[in-house]
Structure 1
């Protein structure tokens, strides 16, 4: 199967050997970050550094001032970790090595936006604000995300884009010096902790016939047993209308973002969403309805274990990219990649994504190279 890997511009810039090393892995494409959240990243082979600290969410190219004029929210430029047109410089070097380049755009994940515009953030049922999670129900946030999707996706030379976190973000984010593991939270508990009660969401719940104050009280009540070590309780009839509101909000954002990108992109430009088949999920792989999302985008990038629910809804040209971790130190398993890829293909995967060549050790990359050789 056709394989691609994720890469940051700083993995390539200043390292003349990097494009050739990536091409020698056997991948056909590289998904290169053009808009990314804050991170601290290892660069184990770079001749000039070992750690890159991206201090805040930023675009990794010069934003167009005219595009953003009059917008209350606008992207932040990167600092020295991705100075100038870092994306463009890295993309050019990768293309020269024969690799197809796709942009990698992180949308609803931005701590600096939340710090400087606190009213844009998700607010949980206890009144706690999540500054890393812009609320996608708010009109200004939605306008910002759609405009960012267009600008960061359609970069010179890009053959397509992958839109990450194009939907609800919430509790499950490894914040700086994270200390939230004292009570184990499963999928349902994380969902309850991610329900937003900002003014836009409260209005939206009302449109579904739900009293937001009663809902917030029900969420707090459902979570109360969790803090004592038990399981979460029911929401007393609120489940369906709340999920209906959130699904509609995420769907319309995805429809708007993809349509705006397509309207700007050249013919043949491929738009994929990082997606999860369970509509209540929040995070980088946003919750979707597989039957719907595959009528919107050209395909999805999804964790390798969640390919199968998308397969019945795929057209012959739909991309179902199974995403595999290949960094052993981050829980990946490059040694079993060939076997795991065969399983994903049997479940409907048409392509592979490898997370993430820039972070992987030499031993991990050797295992990837061998696996892709076996896969042909």
Structure 2
């Protein structure tokens, strides 16, 4: 199977040896970040640094002033962690080795936006804001993300894009020095803690037949057992259906508009994939989707390897189903089982592999990846 790996521009920019080292792994593609959230990243082989601190969500290229002039909400340019057009320099160096370059665009994950414009953030049923999570139910937020998708995806030399966080973000996020694990939250509790009650979402719930005050009270009541160490209670069926209907409608609107905007800006043959989860209510980098719907909108998905099968059931002849496999041992990945994991993913319907993450991996991890990809040819 065609294999690609995720990469940051700072893994390549300023390191003349990086492109050949990556090409030598046996990759066909690199998915290179063009718009990314705040992070602190290790660069174990770079000649000039070992740690890169990206202080806030930013474009890793200069955003177009004409596009964003007079806009209330606009993307932030990067600081010294990605000076100038760091993306373009890295992409050009990678392309010179024959590697295909696709852009990697993170959308609804932006702590700087939440700090500067708190009204754009998700608000939970207790009234707490999540500054890292822009509310995709707001028209202004959706307009920002759609235009960012088009600009950050269609960079010079990119043959396609992968849109991450193109939907709802919620509670689950390693935010600064995170201290939220004291009470375990299962999938239901995570969802309830991620429901948004900003003015736009309150109106959205009302439009689907749920009183937002009653819904918020029901969510708090359902969560009350969690704080005592028991599982969350279920919402009433009608209430739960109304809440999910609004969230699915808002997420679908963003996904459809973002993909359309990218295609309108892109050359023919440009591939648009979404990082996705097959469970519609899920939040996060792999946003919850209805597999049948999302595969009617995008060219395919990037999804954790165990989640491939639900998408495969709705795949078309040219659908891309990229199984995401972690290969950084220190982050819980398993490069040594890559051949078996890849074969298992293929049996479930995967057509491609994505390896997370070539820049963060140790030399030993990369050696194991090289051996694995050689064995899979």
Give the alignment's TM-score, normalised by structure 2.
0.99
Q: Which residue of 2 aligns with 1:223?
A: 223
Q: Which residue of 1 aligns with 2:339?
A: 338
Q: Which residue of 1 aligns with 2:16?
A: 16
Q: Which residue of 2 aligns with 1:84?
A: 84
The residue correspondences of 1:36-115 to structure 2 (distance < 5 A) are 36-115=36-115
Deviations 1:281-302 (A, max 9, x none): 0000000000000000000000
Work out the CA distance in 2 between the residues paired with 1:192 and 1:372. Answer: 41
Work out the CA distance in 2 between the residues paired with 1:316 and 1:345. Answer: 15
Query: Alignment partner of 1:81: what SS?
Result: coil
Deviations 1:78-128 (A, max 9, x none): 000000000000000000111100000000000000000000000000000
Q: Which residue of 2 aligns with 1:171?
A: 171
Query: Alignment partner of 2:313: what SS?
Result: helix
Q: CA deviation at 1:161?
A: 0.2
Q: Which residue of 2 aligns with 1:29?
A: 29
- Structure 1 stretches lacking a partner, 5+ long: none
The residue correspondences of 1:259-278 to structure 2 (distance < 5 A) are 259-278=260-279
Deviations 1:329-373 (A, max 9, x none): 101010000001000000000000000000000000011001100
Deviations 1:307-346 (A, max 9, x none): 0000011111110000000000101010000001000000
Q: Which residue of 2 aligns with 1:206?
A: 206
Work out the CA distance in 2 between the residues paired with 1:225 and 1:312. Answer: 37
Query: Which aligned runs of 4 or more in structure 1 are off by greater than 2 angstroms?
Result: none
Deviations 1:259-279 (A, max 9, x none): 010011000000000000000
Work out the CA distance in 1 between the residues paired with 2:9 and 2:175. Answer: 23
Q: Which residue of 2 aligns with 1:320?
A: 321
Q: CA deviation at 1:167?
A: 0.1
Work out the CA distance in 1 between the residues paired with 2:24 and 2:59. Answer: 28
Give the alignment's TM-score, normalised by structure 1.
1.00
Work out the CA distance in 2 between the residues paired with 1:241 and 1:344. Answer: 35
Query: Alignment partner of 2:303: what SS?
Result: strand
The residue correspondences of 1:110-149 to structure 2 (distance < 5 A) are 110-149=110-149
Q: Which residue of 1 aligns with 2:193?
A: 193
Work out the CA distance in 2 between the residues paired with 1:90 and 1:300. Answer: 24
Q: Does 1:3 align with 2:3?
A: yes
Work out the CA distance in 2 between the residues paired with 1:316 and 1:22. Answer: 30
Q: CA deviation at 1:70?
A: 2.4
User: Alignment RMSD, CA only?
Assistant: 0.5
Aligned length: 376
Q: CA deviation at 1:10?
A: 0.3
Q: Which residue of 1 aligns with 2:312?
A: 311
